[in-house]
Structure formats: C-alpha cells, structure tokens
Structure 1
C-alpha cells in the first residue's frame, strides 16, 4: 500500500531527528552534566552575548542581501525588515524539517508581498550558489593556513586514491546514465507538453530561471558582494567570540578558528535538524586535534550550537508572530 506523501514526510523527518539525537547522545553519553554546568558558569558570558548580538546582525544582512536580487517587477518589493523576518522563519522551520526552511521563507514573502514562489526560489538558488562559492573559498583559505592538518583530517574521512580509481572505473556508466536520463526527460516533456501538470512545471522552472537571471540585474552589486563577504566574516566572529569565552579554547589562533568554522559548516550541511550531532562531532574532532581536551571540545560545540539554536528559536518565533500580523498582499503597499 502506497503511503500518503504527508505520512512519508513525517516518517522521514522522524527518522532524521532520531538519527540526530542518537549521534548527539552517543557523543555526549560520557560527559557528566555537572561538567557542562561548571563550564557554563566559568565561561565569560559577555563574549557569548556579543557573539549572539553579531549573529543577529548577520541574519539582518542576509535578509537585506536577499532583497537585492528580488525583482521589483514581481509583486511588492520587500524591505530589509520583512526579508529578515522571512529568513528567521526559515531558520525556525529548518530546525523542524531539514531543508524546508528555504521554501518556508519564500512562502512568507510570496504571501506577504505577492511575489511568485518560483521567482523567490530562483533567487534562493542564486544565494545558495554564491554561498557555496564562498564556502569553497573559505575551505581553500583554511587549507592554505593549515594545510598539513587539513590533509591529515581529509585522509581520515576519505581515501582519495580509492575514490579517484572508483570514479574512473565507473565513468562510462555514469556518463551513459546521465545521458539516458536527460534524453528520457526530454522525450517525456515533448510527449506530454500540453498536459496541465507539465505546463505548471514548465512555468515553475521558468520562474526559477528568471530568479537566476537576477545575477545580471542586482540593484546594488557592490552591496551584494560586500554583504556576502560580511556574512562569512560574521560567522567566523561568532565562533571566535565564543572561543574567547572559554579558557581552553581562548588560545586558539585565527587559522585554527577558521578550520573550526569549516568543520562546523560541513556539519551543518548534514540532512538533520539544525546540524544536531554532526556539528558537535566535527567541531569537537578538530578541537581535539588542536590539543583541546575531548570534554572541553564537546562542551565548546554544545555551547556555540546551543546558544545559536536558542537565538534562532526565539528570533524565529518573534518573526513568525510578526509575519502572522501581516495581511497577504498582491500589489504594492507601504510597510
């Protein structure tokens, strides 16, 4: 019997959450709760609150950057405040359903500003593409600064020689399968091009393509690229400030903090709610390599991740309530 899509989604989300919680439990099962409390009391909360404050600034900048690639011809142009609240609702949803936050934040602006959902998703795809390029740049920078340790860690996770050999051995199969898939989709599209569902899908992807084209029509190119840089600098500063708050990590160099950021970013990419477990494991792993004790490394990961999650929940709920007060718009209005 075929399960309804909603039931399947609930099952997938539940499995994802259970995996995240299991990783978290396995990682912290040997850490005494008293040790965590002791570290919380000993930490400099001035630095931690500073990291949370700068995180809010980063969220606002992300919202403002988003407005720069949303076409003024599509519905009511959103201001930075409205985009910020949509971003925070997206973060809140991501804590419940992995990857659903991107669609949720687009849904918020589509409802409140009358902007086509497909166009907004196109702009988010553009944002994520730019973020991916910056992430690659950060990884390359970390490799340049900590190349020896970076290679040692990479070899622990991936056998590059075996991976390359496997890719070369299966290259004809991969290329052939890709070609067959593209050809099949093309033939299906031609055969059913007049079907209502196909036309809706085509219109949806046209909207996405329109969003991607906004890279050539950014309202403020300098502001867009500077804000993109600022987002990653702020992410680095949040980790640096929390590291300063804890005695065992306060001695880390800027290069080491950068590598911690890389590992944390990779951990957040895992398809689990809020990077629970995976973020903690990778951050603790790299800190141990820097000479931080296992307990202190795990507690650092718990503090930085926990405070950020609490911030996202509080700010996300505030933004959700704020969004609910708005009346759905289909034409320009004043905020």
Structure 2
C-alpha cells in the first residue's frame, strides 16, 4: 500500500476506531444495572416522537437542498430540486464513512448531473457552511447567556480552554493569509492549478452576495436550524425520564452535540456520550442522558443511511439520459 492510500485509509479507520473505543470505555465503566437501564431507555422510546423528530430532520434536508438553488442561480445555473436533494443526502452518507468528505461528493454529484463546474458548486457549499456557522454561533450565544453557570461548569469539568481555541483560529487565519500570498505570485504549475481552483471557489462563495432571493435564503437558513432544534427537542418526550430536560439544557446539549458529531465518523460513540455527559451536569440520570443521545443519533443516522443510500442508487438512474 502506497503512502497516499495509507493516509486515505487512516482518515476512515482512525475516527471510527476512536468512536468504537469510546463506546467500549463507556460500557466498561458502567455497571450491569446501568447498562440494562440504558438499554431499556432506548428500546422503550416512544416511536411517535421519534418519527416526528425524523420528519423534522427530513424537512431540514429538503430545505437545505432548496436553499442551494438560490446560491447557484446568480452563477447562471438552475438545478433540479431532486438532484439537489439527492446530492445533499449522498453527502451526508459519505460523511458517515469519511468525515468531511460529503461536501466534496455533493459538489461532484451536482457537477456531474447538472453540469455545474465543481469549483463553483464547492464555493457555494462553503458559503452555506459560513451561514450555518453563524447560526450555530447564534445558538451558542443564546445557550451561553441563558446557561452561563453551567457552560463554565462544563468547561471546567472537561478542562476546555476557550482562549486556546481562539489562539488556534488566529494562527490558522494568519497561515491562510500567508498561503494566499504565496500562491498569488507563484508560477509553479501545481500552484497555478490551485490558484485557478481557488478563483472558482471564490466565485461560488460570492454568489451569497449577488443572489436575488436573499430573504428566501435567510428564511430557509432559520428554518433548517429551527428543524434541527425541534428534532432534538422532540426526543425529550420519547426517552423515559427525559421530559424534565428544559429548553436551556436542550440548547447546551445541542451545541455540544453539534461539535461532537465532527470528531468521529458521523459522531459515532462521541455524540451520545457527550450528550449524556452534559446532561449529567444538570442532574439528569446518565443513562437517561446517553439514551437521549443514542436515540437522536441513531434515528437521524438511520435516516441518512436509507435516503443517502437510495440517492446514490437513484441519482444515476434518474439522470440516465
């Protein structure tokens, strides 16, 4: 196996092993009674609320696919909604295998079936991620100001230093500026190719400033994240003992879960354990908190597996001509 294939394999295997390792540690540290209670909380989940949560997740994905059309329109591309939706779902499925690969597959899919240049499609996806980051920061701010005491407790318990994170972001920003200055003046062929790709991506990103349907884009952005919160909130009524969790606690758990899901393949292992760990700080039974995490993670992952898998199969068939 050459070095390139080895690195690619490690990107898939290591996050997955981390998730499995965390699951094993969680099982090892719990007693038989605690494991039985966790299992009972999961299997006794009210399926009505689980399906309502899944429906909210489906609506968020559909809205994301529709919102993408607004970003591509200023570039002169009018894509079909079904292709946009299947590309989005294929991307979610890819993220379960290789973290952060979904954006590349999504851009490649729409480039293949709608003849949109990949770099421009990818640029619009980056613009989407910027909008999503703003929404996550908004929710984080609301959670922080409504639950300041508990946020500080979480940081202290898990030794999270926010200033260290800010320092890393500043360093990455400065390195990014340095990299841009290098590729701007370089005449090396590979650097020139990167520069041309970057120009296409930048053009795609600028579409958020030139699109006509800014209000509709904002509406769908708020709708997507509203559905994310609602699908998360509904699970409190599904898991036994979770109905006591209030909205402020839901916001904190939601934010922590949003960051945790990027650590391993689709958040396997990390997501439910992180949710359980946060809710314990509020006095929620650990097995109830982890069951909450497993039900929301398991149901949404199953949704992505089914619809994402069907999308990969159906997309070439529907676009056969």
Report the TM-score, using the length of structure 1 for normalisation: 0.86
1:242 aligns with one of 232, 235, 239: 235
Aligned residue number for residue 86 of structure 2: 85
CA contact (8 A) 2:123 2:205 kept: yes
- Deviation sequence 1:33-87 (CA, Å, 0-9, x none): 644442234221111111001110110001111111013545x521322211110
In 2 relative to 1, CA 55–184 (structure 1 residues): closer, same or farther, beyond 3 Å? closer
SS in 2 for 1:219: coil
Aligned residue number for residue 155 of structure 1: 156
Separation of aligned partners in 1, 2:61 and 2:231: 12
- Deviation sequence 1:127-147 (CA, Å, 0-9, x none): 111111111110100012111
Separation of aligned partners in 2, 1:199 and 1:73: 23
Residue ranges of structure 2 left out of the alignment (5+ in a row): none
1:307 aligns with one of 284, 299, 303: 299
CA contact (8 A) 1:60 1:81 kept: no
CA contact (8 A) 1:113 1:328 kept: no
Separation of aligned partners in 1, 2:178 and 2:41: 59
CA contact (8 A) 2:240 2:288 kept: no
Separation of aligned partners in 2, 1:211 and 1:137: 24
CA contact (8 A) 1:64 1:79 kept: no
Separation of aligned partners in 2, 1:162 and 1:50: 39
CA contact (8 A) 2:94 2:101 kept: yes
Aligned residue number for residue 7 of structure 1: 6
In 2 relative to 1, CA 212–191 (structure 1 residues): closer, same or farther, beyond 3 Å? closer
For the pair 1:26 / 2:25, whether they are aligned, the reply is yes
CA RMSD of aligned residues (A): 2.7
In 2 relative to 1, CA 37–162 (structure 1 residues): closer, same or farther, beyond 3 Å? closer
* Cα drift, residue 162 of structure 1: 8.1
Aligned residue number for residue 64 of structure 1: 66
* Cα drift, residue 267 of structure 1: 0.7
Aligned residue number for residue 55 of structure 1: 57
CA contact (8 A) 2:139 2:255 kept: yes
Give the stretch that moved more between structures: 236-245 or 183-192. Answer: 183-192
* Cα drift, residue 159 of structure 1: 5.9
Give the stretch that moved more between structures: 105-114 or 316-325. Answer: 316-325
CA contact (8 A) 1:111 1:328 kept: no
CA contact (8 A) 1:69 1:219 kept: no
Q: Which has the larger radius of gyration?
A: 1
- Deviation sequence 1:248-270 (CA, Å, 0-9, x none): 11121111111111111111132
- Deviation sequence 1:108-165 (CA, Å, 0-9, x none): 100000000100111111111111111111010001211111111123334649859x
For the pair 1:46 / 2:48, whether they are aligned, the reply is yes
CA contact (8 A) 1:112 1:328 kept: no
Residue ranges of structure 1 left out of the alignment (5+ in a row): 330-335
Separation of aligned partners in 1, 2:11 and 2:54: 31
For the pair 1:205 / 2:195, whether they are aligned, the reply is no
CA contact (8 A) 2:140 2:255 kept: yes
Aligned residue number for residue 297 of structure 1: 289
CA contact (8 A) 1:284 1:298 kept: yes
SS in 2 for 1:70: helix
* Cα drift, residue 182 of structure 1: 5.3
Aligned residue number for residue 140 of structure 2: 139
SS in 1 for 2:233: helix
Aligned residue number for residue 245 of structure 2: 252
